[in-house]
Chain A
Amino acid sequence: MDKKTLIIDHFECWGCKACEVACKQENNAPDGIKLIEIVEDGPRMAGEQPFFEYHVRVCRHCEDPPCVAECPVAAITRRSDHMVILDTAECTGCEACIDACPYDAISFDEANGVARKCNMCSSRVNQGLIPACADNICLARCIQFTSTFDST
């Protein structure tokens, strides 16, 4: 099984937020729920240099995901292709995963009483397409999707 990865170059991000809307168009997450979000870092001084960057906040699809470990009902699973999938049909809304995520990448969908996060557009990837945010919308191409042969 090929390992699926989102590679994000935060340094290159200009903060245009096209990825946020591309994600909405694909996943139609409810108002206020952002499966991907551009956040600001700075402005501040980094030594003598003024510093200001944007960061892309999105599920990292961790190798050893704390959210999977914490979920009491196994609603989050790590697939053999390394995509970490949250199944909202199984989610009970306990929010344990939200507390567990070190990247602040899981949101609580109040309207539906479930946790929501980026599933790396699994329905697209399953069909041989690439995730919406990585699909050549970014002006800096700072989000790339890769599929690597996994020898392990």
Chain B
Amino acid sequence: MTEFMQSNIEREMAVYGYDSLVKSHCRMCHGGCGVLIYLKDKKIAKIAGDPDCPINHGSLCSKGLASAQMAYHPDRLTFPVKRIGAKGSGRWARISWDEALDTIAERILDYKSRFGAESIVMGYGTGRENEAAIYRFANLLGSPNVLTAGHFCYGPRIATSIITCGTNPIVDYEHHPKCIMVWGNNVVISNPDCYKGEPFSNSVKKGAKLIAVDPRLTRIAARSEIWLPLRPGTDAALALGMLHVIITEKLYDHEFVENHVFGWDAFKERVRQYPLDKVEEITWVPSEKIAAAARLFATTKPAAIQWGVAIEQQITCADNDRLLMALMGLTGNIDVPGGQVLFQPPKVRNVGQFGAHRMLTDVQRDKRLGGDRFRMADNFAIINPKCVWDAILEEKPYPVKMLFFISSNPVITRANAREVYRALEKVEFMAVADFFITPTAELADIVLPAATWLEMDYIGDYWKRHGYILPRRKAIQVGECRSDHEMLNDLGRRVGQEAHWWENFEQALDWILEPMNITWQEFKKMDYLRGDVVSQKYKARGFSTPTRKFELYATVLETWGYDPLPRFREPPESPYSTPELCEEFPYILITGRRQPGFFHTENRQVPWLRELHRDPVVEIHPDAAGKEGIEEGQWVYIESPRGRIRQRAKYFSGMDPRIVSAEHGWWFPEKNIPGRGWDESNINILTDNRYETCDPAMGATSVRTLLCRIYPVSESEVSHG
């Protein structure tokens, strides 16, 4: 029997008469996978995974496969435009790149002279490998305000891992963990951050035992030895309970604790406050299951925790990350093969250096919005979004006059969407760079046509912590679209930053690569570069923390005035924290369940991807649905104290009947009306962003767990909707 893994590339070229092949690096999500781009008549004819890429080994997700349909989409913005009607009117006029950049530059210089550079807020959404250039531009301008998802996505892992052990510990799937605890993560669908589903799947095939921590029965949970369906938002209590077992039963790595940990006694004392009976009461998970999971995780070597964003979008954000790191550390799985490795990047100029953070003066840095309130975020140049909306709407502590959002759609993605919308309506000037006129872009004064990953040269995975960088090679040009890096390079030269940018962006890539003694043209010919892989580096040089130890007790948090030990905080809205509200809004609403094909607010207009999932779907347990008179497939209202939206009901018995699970990121590009249905199914109409509901150190908004009621949309409303 002949089994085939993949077609022969030469044969593929010959059979279809393709002209050429470009190997590149996808960025339909955060980046990651090696791809083969087949071209015919200078157009993309086919996209496939690159079998030689160490990240994905030839596999490729639905988004990557549909990239060309996105790049060539008829609704794609392919030239700069300026708004000629009222905000949201959808009336635009084509302008040249020069006019667009000159206008933006003029506004920047004007606001800077009249209100200070801090009145200009740069923004991006989730990480799209443009962050280093955006921070560089803002820092050189003197604005400390870069609004990103960093307060509640990945930024917390970076910040907390730096203060705990020096860098983000990444699961080493290359050496196959024997136990993987998947915590609030569906890696096979979401391919998040430094991870792809493929290496995870390989380790599962190699026999890794799974533990799943998830309120929902995912396929991963169904394949797990132990599934812990916790009450949403109680991750910290669950982790503390597991640590309680590991410490009480002395299942921890004694050598690591004796020699490499800081704050052991204080930490033990904190953990002692979370005995299993109490943890069971908080989490709704039976204590024997928690104990069994703790034992399996602690006694199987090597073991790893596949973690992600869900634990960060809660009031307990930084401490969730720190507790999972405590589990990794105490079980001796930090920086060991098949555990969680502190990978070293290739020795290029890193994102921090490119971001020019040292160019920001102390005077300007001290003006960072919310810096006095969210001090850990402040120390990592991250801001909480509400601080920006307040500065626009209330002009406190000072007015924000201009926004420049690059690859960001905050009216859909940020908490309390109606407030976001009001702020964007009010702000004096807004520029946006995107692929399409999104509901956010509709409120802009100028929209710039951004290049997709197929249209740019860049160093892929430059920002990641898995130790690789890979060349992203330009395959096509679409209209006048330009990469975010190129447009910022040119804008920087227009606002007095010419000494710090380059004649063209290729020279910037050369500058990044210079310490390796290679140029972009040379890197382009390589498959990838990888940093040296060395285990247990801490044995020789300690951890890169103030105490040189693995800090269970975070000395810098103490300096900033926070509790140095991790703790559980009850979600701001829950049956326990707001019992009276719970009578009116009796269900726990969890949000953001990932769908194949979509990436936050993206891809609803890409036919092959929308076909995978047509409508926003809210899952409800059949028992609850019966009680609320909800039929399968029916449109239902989901209502929170902030507002209501509608999604389509789907029966799902794989969770507690007290929970409903809704999707995020929805707008309807196909609706040819102002706003494109931005508030119809947008989960952030329901979420809260008051400061007291955010993580006190990181400013993470608590968008994952709230209270709601749910009821059918009436027939007449459906037909008129």
Q: Is chain B a partner of chain A in the same complex?
A: yes
Write the residues of chain A forming the contact surface with B, with a CB cutoff of 8 angstroms. Answer: 2, 12-18, 20-22, 24-25, 31-32, 34, 42-44, 50-54, 124, 127-130, 134-141, 144-148
Bound Cα distance A51, B217 (Å)? 8
- Is the beta-carbon distance between B197 and A14 smaller than 8 angstroms? yes
Bound Cα distance A36, B221 (Å)? 25
Pick the contact of B596 from A16, A52, A146 — CB < 8 Å? A16
- Is the beta-carbon distance between B222 and A43 smaller than 8 angstroms? yes
B492 in contact (CB, < 8 A): no
Residues of A within 8 A of B596 (CB): 15-18
- Is the beta-carbon distance between A139 and B12 smaller than 8 angstroms? no
Bound Cα distance A136, B197 (Å)? 14
B607 in contact (CB, < 8 A): yes
Residues of A within 8 A of B609 (CB): 21
Residues of A within 8 A of B653 (CB): 43-44
> Chain A: which residue is nearest B15 at the CB level?
A127
Give B500 Cβ to nearest chain A Cβ, in Å: 41
Task: Give a binary string over B385-415; 1 marks a CB under 8 Å from any A CB, 0 the rest.
Answer: 0000000000000000000000000000000
- The residue among A32, A34, A135 with the most chain B CB atoms within 10 A of its own CB is A135
Residues of A within 8 A of B197 (CB): 14, 16, 139
- In the complex, 21 of the A-B residue pairs with CB atoms within 8 angstroms, ordered by the A residue number, are A2-B2, A13-B219, A15-B596, A16-B596, A22-B65, A25-B608, A43-B222, A43-B653, A43-B654, A50-B654, A52-B218, A53-B222, A129-B15, A135-B6, A136-B49, A137-B48, A137-B59, A139-B59, A139-B197, A145-B4, A148-B1
B469 in contact (CB, < 8 A): no
- Is the beta-carbon distance between B219 and A14 smaller than 8 angstroms? yes
**Residues of chain B in range 491-523 having any CB-CB distance to chain A below 8 Å:** none
Residues of B within 8 A of A31 (CB): 607, 611
Task: Give a binary string over B56-91; 1 marks a CB under 8 Å from any A CB, 0 the rest.
Answer: 111111100110000000000000000000000000
Pick the contact of A136 from B51, B62, B221, B608 — CB < 8 Å? B51
- Is the beta-carbon distance between B189 and A15 smaller than 8 angstroms? yes
> Chain A: which residue is nearest B196 at the CB level?
A139
Give A124 Cβ to nearest chain B Cβ, in Å: 7
> Chain A: which residue is nearest B50 at the CB level?
A136
- Is the beta-carbon distance between A18 and B217 smaller than 8 angstroms? no
Residues of A within 8 A of B205 (CB): 12, 140
Bound Cα distance A34, B612 (Å)? 10
Give B668 Cβ to nearest chain A Cβ, in Å: 16
Task: Give a binary string over B170-207; 1 marks a CB under 8 Å from any A CB, 0 the rest.
Answer: 00000000000000000011000000111001000100
B5 in contact (CB, < 8 A): yes
- Is the beta-carbon distance between B60 and A18 smaller than 8 angstroms? yes
> Chain B: which residue is nearest A142 at the CB level?
B201
Task: Give a binary string over B575-613; 1 marks a CB under 8 Å from any A CB, 0 the rest.
Answer: 000000000000000000000110000000001110110
B7 in contact (CB, < 8 A): yes
Residues of A within 8 A of B198 (CB): 139
**Known A20-B62, A128-B11: A146·B4 in contact at CB below 8 Å:** yes
**Known A137-B48, A147-B2: A43·B60 in contact at CB below 8 Å:** no
Residues of A within 8 A of B62 (CB): 16-18, 20-21
Bound Cα distance A22, B197 (Å)? 17
Give B208 Cβ to nearest chain A Cβ, in Å: 13
> Chain B: which residue is nearest A25 at the CB level?
B65
B418 in contact (CB, < 8 A): no
Pick the contact of A18 from B6, B46, B65, B218 — CB < 8 Å? B65
**Known A25-B47, A32-B611, A144-B3: A129·B221 in contact at CB below 8 Å:** no
Bound Cα distance A12, B654 (Å)? 19
B297 in contact (CB, < 8 A): no
B652 in contact (CB, < 8 A): yes
- Is the beta-carbon distance between B219 and A54 smaller than 8 angstroms? yes
Bound Cα distance A134, B8 (Å)? 13
Residues of A within 8 A of B11 (CB): 127-129
**Residues of chain B in range 17-55 having any CB-CB distance to chain A below 8 Å:** 46-49, 51
Top 10 closest A-B pairs, CB basis?
A: A43-B654, A136-B6, A14-B188, A136-B58, A52-B222, A139-B198, A17-B596, A21-B62, A21-B65, A127-B15
Give A104 Cβ to nearest chain B Cβ, in Å: 18
Residues of A within 8 A of B61 (CB): 16, 18, 139
Bound Cα distance A22, B69 (Å)? 12
Pick the contact of B7 from A12, A16, A24, A135 — CB < 8 Å? A135
- Is the beta-carbon distance between B2 and A148 smaller than 8 angstroms? yes
**Known A50-B221, A135-B6: A43·B51 in contact at CB below 8 Å:** no
Residues of A within 8 A of B7 (CB): 124, 129-130, 135
Residues of B within 8 A of A54 (CB): 219
Bound Cα distance A124, B218 (Å)? 35
- Is the beta-carbon distance between B5 and A52 smaller than 8 angstroms? no
Residues of A within 8 A of B59 (CB): 18, 136-139, 141
Residues of A within 8 A of B4 (CB): 130, 134, 144-147
Residues of A within 8 A of B652 (CB): 43
Give B6 Cβ to nearest chain A Cβ, in Å: 4
Bound Cα distance A52, B218 (Å)? 7
